[in-house]
Structure 1
Amino acid sequence: MNAWVLRAVGLGALTVGLRALLGVAMVQWPTNGSWMRPLGLLVLIAAVLAWGVLDGRADADGQRDLTMRWLKAGLAGGIGAGAVAWILDYLPGFDLGDNGLLFEITSGASFIILVIFIPGVLGVALGRYLVRRRDNSDTASDLPNSTKESATV
């Protein structure tokens, strides 16, 4: 399976799961939506960011084009999550906003695409930075004392 397909399916499923959980919670506790919506968004962003950091750490030398991987994952995950949410909205017990298919695969999907793509790429950059910083500090500690003092100045 392609790496971007795995990310698209996993993050799209997380998006739909969070929307379904939010829909059930909003039916049970309608006055608590002001903190439940941002919490769901924060969980999704944290998952994408963590996966991006793992990608960046695995590819610290920058040999692969992870930007396109995350763009494809965002596109497929956003459009797929919108289509699945539209289908689930017709099942009894699911309240996902009663949005039409056109909205779900265009406007709704564009937001999810950005929520997957931007934190994913930021996570890749952070992961690469952390590995390079660790490697540079290991290299600096291997230098002799006289070189180490001049390298820190």
Structure 2
Amino acid sequence: MIVMNAWVLRAVGLGALTVLLETLLGFGMMTWPTAGAWMRILCLIVLVGAVLTWGVLDGRADRRANPDPEQGSDLTMRWLEAAVAGGLGAGLVAWLLDFLPKFDLGDQGLLFNITSGAAWIILLIFIPGMLGVTIGRFLVGREHKKRAPAASPEPAHA
């Protein structure tokens, strides 16, 4: 049984989703070249939605495990590591897939894919991921406040 670190799981999952969406976009652009703008927007929405959802789940789980905000896990580093590995991995895999026949992923060079292209994917993973973590923690914190009994007012002493 292989045990993966949390950031490795996110990097592999979101990097693979990025490559899948880029591949689907490439095939879609060859088939319907005039619909490229809409396909790009749809791929962007799918990726950001998946990252945001995963971030919300992380934030909720962390706040439930650590109700005190000062004792929570360092999810910033988890998401930063996942974003860097996912962005670099997606860039490398996309560059390799571009050599296969019938795959049109933009004909970008390796240098572009592991620098500029990877930087864009890193931002698309890290920023929505951290936004999702913040939203998830906020939602659980709000649930805790609703469930906490209201403090009874102390009687006024005259």
Do both share a fold (TM > 0.5)?
A: yes
Listed as ranges, the gaps of 5+ residues in structure 2 are: 154-158
| Structure 1 unpaired stretches of 5+ | 148-153
Partners of 1:42 and 1:93 lie apart in 2 by 25
Q: Does 1:57 align with 2:60?
A: yes
Is residue 2:136 matched to residue 1:133?
Answer: no
Structure 2 counterpart of 1:95, one-letter code: D
- The AA in structure 2 aligned to 1:23 is G
Aligned-pair Cα RMSD in Å: 1.1
The alpha carbon displacement at 1:93 in A equals: 1.4
TM-score by length of 1: 0.91
CA distance in 1, matches of 2:77, 2:19: 23
Percentage of identical aligned residues: 67
**Residue of structure 1 in register with 2:21 after alignment:** 18
Higher helix fraction: Structure 1 or Structure 2?
A: 1
Q: TM-score, normalising length from structure 2?
A: 0.88
Listed as ranges, the matches of 1:2-151 within 5 Å are 2-60=5-63, 61=66, 62=69, 63-139=72-148, 142-143=149-150
**1:7-48 CA distance string (max 9 Å, x none):** 000000000000000000000000001111011011000000
Aligned residue pair count:
144
Cα offsets for 1:47-94 (capped at 9, x unmatched): 000000000000013421000000000000000000000000000111
Partner SS for 1:59:
helix
- CA offset digits 1:76-134 (Å, max 9, x no partner): 00000000000000001111000000000000000000000000011001000000001
Within 2, Cα distance between the matches of 1:34 and 1:43?
14
1:143, distance to aligned residue in structure 2 (A)? 2.9
**Distance in structure 1 (CA, Å) of the matches to 2:139 and 2:23:** 35
